Amino acid sequence: MSFSSEIRKVVGDHVLETREEIIPYLKDASYFVGDMPDMVVLPGTSKEVSEIVKLCYQNDVQITVRGGGTSLTGSSVLTGKGIIISLARLDHIYETSVEDKYVVAEPGVRLDVLNNHLLQFNHFYPPDPASSKSATVGGTISTNAGGLRAAMYGTTKDWVLGLEVVLPTGEIVQFGGKTLKKTLGYDLTALMIGAEGTLGIITKAILKIWPIPEITGRIQSYYTSIEDVGNAVSGLKREGVTPMIAEFMDKISLDSIRKTKGLKFPEDAEYMLLIDIASTVESLERNLQYAANILKKFNPITVNITTDKDEMAKMYEARKGAYASVLSERESADQYLVLGDIVVPASKLPSAMKQIKEKIKAYGGKVSLYGHIGDGNIHAHIFANTNNPEDMKKVDSLQMDLARIAIKHEGSVSGEHGIGLEKKELLKEEMKARNTMGTLEMMESIKKAFDPKNLLNRGKIF
Amino acid sequence: MTADLVEQLRVETEKCISCGFCESVCPTLSASDYVSIKGARGRVLLGRAAHNDIKDKGRTELKIADSFYSCLDCYACVHVCPAGVNAGKVSDIAKRVITSGNYTKKDQQKAVAKMIASAIMKHKNPLGLRKESADWAKSFDFDDDSSTLLYTGNMYQLMAYSKSLGNMKGVVGDKFTDIFAEFISKRPSLIKMAGSLYDFPTKESMESALKSIVGLLRKAGIKFRYLGEDEPYPGTFLYDLGYVDLFKKYSTEIFETFSSAGIKRVITIDPHTYDIMKNQYKEYVEGFDLEIIHYLDVLKDLKLKESDEEITFHEPCHFVLRDNDYNIPKNILSKAAKLKMPPRSGRSTMCCGGPNELLFAGIAERVSNERFAELKRTGAQKIITACPICFVNLAKDRSVVDIANFLAEKAV
């Protein structure tokens, strides 16, 4: 029996083998184009995933796992020969416990769908990557996604209690559980978070949930100097304000949102700072005023406060779509976006941002800056012809320069997008600079222990 | 004209960054068990690949028809794309690429689509049923001198027959349907045999709605004429199925028919006819100057009995997701009952699964099941629809009521 027939025995017709069916799986949200897989398999249960993986293990077939296909580093496209397993059909939400504060969901559940479900319990799952509309539970665990609310709630790693995982041999194992506390030797749940599908395939997740804040209000302030933006955020933190969301956007990103979403900003604004404050109803106004007064100390053009839900929702959606909107600012049709994802401690923002700006100026090409400044995460979106090796050489060089700024400021080369295909060199650079290459060797040993045949998501991270 | 299509395909697809926002709201993706090319993002990426093939080799070998014909044209995708890509438009363009016959290696036209197009051109009705489409109005007298036309577009009337054909397709299977449709497309006169196949309860419901509309308009003091057996179908399917050159010719003929009959104002009664006449006729028909309104426009001040009855309203895509932002039905309904909108409403409304029942019955059924379940979860006693296609797709129990019948019951 052929491999294809054996797979079909497991999942029936949920196998895609023609070129037209496979084309969409060659792309994720990064600029990478993957190799053509022999097939895309869409299992519907953990057992089916396990059976497929067993077949791949027996036949030495490489597997790339795909969730929402929203990776920004190429971690969900195939390199080389193999198959893609799409977990889209594993889209059930099983159990929600408000008392014990968890929800059990399959990996194909999109984050916005999960949060719409949790609304009825007045709870939410805080990790909030900009791609939450399309990003999935499994994919965001695999990249340790952060997002807008990380300033207050941290990243995905802080919200995963347990996992069901299919190992590269096909064995189904359980890590963690439903309790907040559990000390049972090595924390294998944590090991799976950010592993980018290289150690096992997540088929179920127990996620911590939290009550929705009573009310939120927003401050939008505008600046002409990037240092003022950095100082304003550091100032807020120093004065004891922990925003739920603290985002910044530069002029290019504001222009793109103006164009694609029709939102208005002051014409002379070079940067916008968007601060959301979560509060009780009684203290909201006081908290907003307190934060606004701090922001006013750092030379803003203007500081606006709003509690209008529609207005806040429009801007929030626009910010979440900024990555795609920014493409409208490209100078030619062959330009695409290469995404940076560095992070520094918030106290180092003023100095780091000044140096970032200088490097971008020296680079000379078009770069848009925005990010989750509340947790020190800055995305430099570099416009480049990704098919032009000369252009990409310059882009890589800029990425390395920005990474070094992050490292120098005790930050990291990757805040929330992961390593994927894109940031392997940057990962090495960070390990080298921190004089801890042994960490990388340990990671490789762990990979070998889980996946001795190197079948899962080969070529990613290492 | 056709070379322009390839350029349009490039322009619309190259802005996509593959973020997947569009597929998260695309009703056909989950309904097709997550086959990516049957979702919005997959369609855009496939459209780009087809464009690249055509640019490099003159034609594409990719089999693209199922991907683009399974699109429901609801345009939910448009409203969430941060890059301004219109995945619905990509489907529209790709269907035109297919029907042009110039850019695909083999003819990829759908037999059912060809059959419908040839019947429209021959009979000015997709099933050749203009006579049957006028049955409902036999007991009415209309104001034949009026320059205002009540234009049903045959839409309500066709539902009983299309439902029956859909059921028949389920019995005989896709293959036989295609052979039959191919045969009929070359002999469009034979399509009239569909006149003996109709779903009686649907016919009754649809005719009841039509009669209610007449009653409501009269209550509002509107004088109007009706063309009866001479009333033509508006050509929506020609446009939706990619036969745009035929649509241009056809819609021009319809305009001339209306103009020569002295018609100045057209009262449409369903969202598809309203949308195509309000938007596409203006674009495709030279000198189009008819005033296009929906019958609910003139019912804004209708006096209604208030009640505590809880109702929910399924907003049609062509009212709120396409070029229109038509909120009048919601406003009128909220005067008569307690309106509990489903989570997906307004610019996030969800398609009912139509009008693809004859092409992709399985997808249409799954989409309608999902939407019906969501509407039921509101706990409302009645589900109100304002489109005959939505009604037929969602009428899975007796709680589903056409807005005309609901308002007729509430009108003082």
CA-to-CA distance for A10 and B332, rounded, in angstroms?
53
CB A356, CB A348: distance < 8 Å: no
Interface of A with B (CB under 8 A): 14, 16, 18-21, 23-29, 40, 42, 68-70, 86, 88-89, 91, 108, 110, 112-113, 116, 131, 133-135, 260-261, 318, 320-325, 327-328, 333, 336-337
Q: Which chain B residues are within 8 Å of A25, Cβ to Cβ?
A: 36
User: Quick check: A27 and B45 CB within 8 A?
Assistant: yes
CB A46, CB A164: distance < 8 Å: yes
Listing DSSP states for A105-129 in one string gives E-TT-BHHHHHHHHHTTTEE---B-
**H-type helices in B101-224, by residue range?**
111-123, 130-133, 155-172, 174-186, 200-219
CB A263, CB A248: distance < 8 Å: no
User: Quick check: B20 and A68 CB within 8 A?
Assistant: yes
User: Quick check: B62 and A21 CB within 8 A?
Assistant: no
User: Quick check: B17 and A324 CB within 8 A?
Assistant: yes
Q: Which of A14, A20, A116 sits opposite B64 (nearest CB)?
A: A20
CB A70, CB A339: distance < 8 Å: no
Instruction: Identify the residue whose tokens are 């009128």.
Output: B332
CB B304, CB B412: distance < 8 Å: yes
pTM: 0.95
Q: Which chain B residues are within 8 Å of A20, Cβ to Cβ?
A: 37, 46, 49, 62-64, 67
CA-based nearest distance A70→chain B, Å? 6
Q: Which two tokens stand for residue A104?
A: 């059990």
Q: Which of B15, B46, B84 sits opposite A20 (nearest CB)?
A: B46
Q: Which of B21, B33, B343 sits opposite A14 (nearest CB)?
A: B33
The continuous run of DSSP H or E covering B239 comes out as: helix B236-240
Question: Residue A326 burial (CB < 10 Å; 0-12/13-18/19+)?
Answer: buried
Q: Which of A27, A325, A337 sits opposite B82 (nearest CB)?
A: A325
Q: Which two tokens stand for residue A146?
A: 């952060």
Interface of B with A (CB under 8 A): 14-15, 17-21, 23-25, 30, 33-37, 41-42, 45-46, 49, 62-64, 67, 80-84, 343
**Three-state secondary-structure class, residue A352:** helix
CA-based nearest distance B150→chain A, Å? 38
C-alpha Rg value of chain A to the nearest Å: 22
CA-to-CA distance for A420 and A462, rounded, in angstroms?
8
CA-to-CA distance for A53 and A47, rounded, in angstroms?
10
CA-to-CA distance for A33 and A36, rounded, in angstroms?
9
User: Quick check: A134 and B64 CB within 8 A?
Assistant: no
Question: Residue B191 burial (CB < 10 Å; 0-12/13-18/19+)?
Answer: buried
Q: Which chain A residues are within 8 Å of B35, Cβ to Cβ?
A: 16, 21, 42
Render pLDDT for A382-407 as a digit per residue (tens, 0 to 9): 999 999 999 999 999 999 999 999 99
A361, A386, B20, B189, B345 from A329: Cα distances, Å: 18, 16, 20, 54, 32
Q: Which chain A residues are within 8 Å of B30, Cβ to Cβ?
A: 91
User: Quick check: B82 and A321 CB within 8 A?
Assistant: yes
CA-to-CA distance for A169 and A161, rounded, in angstroms?
24
User: Quick check: B17 and A14 CB within 8 A?
Assistant: no
CA-to-CA distance for B15 and B21, rounded, in angstroms?
14
User: Quick check: B19 and A18 CB within 8 A?
Assistant: no
Q: Which residue has the higher pLDDT, A64 or A333?
A: A64
CB B156, CB B206: distance < 8 Å: yes
Q: Which two tokens stand for residue A249?
A: 């956007």
Q: What is the pLDDT of residue A324?
A: 87
Q: What is the pLDDT of residue B190?
A: 78
Pairing of strands B382-385, B338-339: unpaired
Render pLDDT for B228-281 as a digit per residue (tens, 0 to 9): 999 999 999 999 999 999 999 999 999 999 999 999 999 999 999 999 999 999
Q: Which chain A residues are within 8 Å of B84, Cβ to Cβ?
A: 260, 325, 328
Q: Which two tokens stand for residue B164?
A: 């029956």
Average pLDDT over all residues of chain A = 96
CA-based nearest distance B212→chain A, Å? 37
Q: Which two tokens stand for residue B21?
A: 């926002």
Q: Which chain B residues are within 8 Å of A325, Cβ to Cβ?
A: 82-84
**Three-state secondary-structure class, residue A198:** coil
User: Which of B24, B78, B345, B377 to mutate to probe the A interface, most A CBs <10 Å?
Assistant: B24
CA-based nearest distance A105→chain B, Å? 17
Q: Which chain B residues are within 8 Å of A333, Cβ to Cβ?
A: 14
User: Quick check: B84 and A25 CB within 8 A?
Assistant: no
User: Quick check: A324 and B81 CB within 8 A?
Assistant: yes
Render pLDDT for B182-221 as a digit per residue (tens, 0 to 9): 888 888 887 877 777 889 999 999 999 999 999 999 999 9
CA-based nearest distance B109→chain A, Å? 17
Q: What is the pLDDT of residue A179?
A: 96
User: Quick check: B82 and A28 CB within 8 A?
Assistant: no
What lies within 8 Å, CB to CB, of A182 at 6+ separation is: A176
User: Quick check: A21 and B41 CB within 8 A?
Assistant: no
Nearest to A458, CA basis, from A4, A91, A78: A78
**Greatest Cα-to-Cα distance within chain B, rounded to the nearest angstrom:** 66
Regions of chain B short of the pLDDT cut 50: 1
Listing DSSP states for A397-432 in one string gives HHHHHHHHHHHHTT-BS-SSS--TTTSHHHHHHHHH
Q: Which chain B residues are within 8 Å of A28, Cβ to Cβ?
A: 18
User: Which of B13, B21, B370 to mutate to probe the A interface, most A CBs <10 Å?
Assistant: B21
CA-to-CA distance for B250 and B311, rounded, in angstroms?
39
What lies within 8 Å, CB to CB, of B221 at 6+ separation is: none
CA-to-CA distance for B300 and B222, rounded, in angstroms?
13
Q: Which chain B residues are within 8 Å of A110, Cβ to Cβ?
A: 24
Q: What is the pLDDT of residue B124?
A: 96
Q: Which of B19, B62, B83 sits opposite A70 (nearest CB)?
A: B19
Q: What is the pLDDT of residue B319?
A: 95
CB A172, CB A50: distance < 8 Å: yes
Q: Which chain A residues are within 8 Å of B24, Cβ to Cβ?
A: 68, 110, 112-113, 133-134
CA-to-CA distance for A27 and A25, rounded, in angstroms?
5
What lies within 8 Å, CB to CB, of B206 at 6+ separation is: B136, B156, B157, B159, B160, B388, B391
What lies within 8 Å, CB to CB, of A107 at 6+ separation is: A67, A87, A90, A136, A137, A138, A139, A141, A202, A203, A204, A205
**H-type helices in A301-384, by residue range?**
309-320, 322-326, 349-363
Mean pLDDT throughout A418-437?
A: 96
Q: What is the pLDDT of residue B185?
A: 84
CB A152, CB A242: distance < 8 Å: yes
Instruction: Identify the residue whose tokens are 């995982």.
Output: A165
CA-to-CA distance for B153 and B213, rounded, in angstroms?
14
CB A143, CB A176: distance < 8 Å: no
φ, ψ for residue A419, nearest 5 deg: -100, -50
Instruction: Identify the residue whose tokens are 């006579």.
Output: B131
User: Which of B34, B78, B85, B350 to mutate to probe the A interface, most A CBs <10 Å?
Assistant: B34
DSSP-assigned letter for residue A60: T
CA-based nearest distance B104→chain A, Å? 13
What lies within 8 Å, CB to CB, of B403 at 6+ separation is: B296, B313, B329, B333, B384, B385, B386
Q: Which two tokens stand for residue A438?
A: 């042994």
CA-to-CA distance for B333 and B313, rounded, in angstroms?
8
Nearest to B311, CA basis, from B292, B295, B333: B333
What lies within 8 Å, CB to CB, of A447 at 6+ separation is: A198, A199, A454, A461, A462
- Classify the C-alpha dihedral A333-A335-A336-A341 as positive or negative: negative
A311, A424, B158, B317 from B79: Cα distances, Å: 16, 36, 30, 12
User: Quick check: B82 and A21 CB within 8 A?
Assistant: no
Q: What is the pLDDT of residue B3?
A: 63
Question: How many other CB atoms are there within 10 angstroms of residue A19's CB atom?
Answer: 14
Pairing of strands A63-66, A83-86: parallel
Nearest to A202, CA basis, from A116, A148, A144, A146: A144
Q: Which chain A residues are within 8 Å of B34, Cβ to Cβ?
A: 42, 86, 88-89, 108
